[in-house]
Amino acid sequence: MDRKNWIKKKTRMKNKLRKSNNSHRLIVFRSNKHIYGQVLDVEKGAIVLSSSSNDNDISKDKNIEKSNKVEVSKIVAKALSKKMKTKKITSITFDRNGYIYHGRVKAFAEELRENGIKF
């Protein structure tokens, strides 16, 4: 899939997600090396929380260097879910940002569900 089609798909998904009733949206972005998760407050239009494999507390971990990308995405999701619980955010809308629900994105979502975040 080329970039043009991916952007079309992404905008279609954004329009569908606007109809949801949740006040927070979790947006996932993945690059070739890293994965990022951001919690957006829909009403204010501002990023409330974020976590990535690039964060200092996560990237300094010795186990991350040895683990594969799927395991790293699980670690990032676990860190993000802890941050969300401290802010008392338990229900979100999951925005996979046009990516297929497979691999790293799926591992990220399942780890969030295991840690008590509902979507």
Residue 53 counted as domain residue: yes
pLDDT digits over 54-72, tens only?
988 887 776 777 789 999 9
Tokens 């395991």, located at residue = 71
- List 24's β-bridge partners, or say none: 41
Neighbours of 119 (CB within 10 A): 16
* Full DSSP string of 30-97: E-SS-EEEEEEETTTTEEEEEEETTSHHHHT-HHHHHS-HHHHHHHHHHHHHHHHHHTT--B-EEE-T
For the domain that residue 7 is a member of, what is the CATH number?
3.30.420.100
* Domain encompassing residue 9: 3-114
Count structural domains, the chain: 1
Mean pLDDT is lowest, of 6-20, 78-92, 101-115, for: 6-20
pLDDT band per the 50, 70, 90 thresholds, residue 109: very high
Note whether residue 119 is domain-resident: no
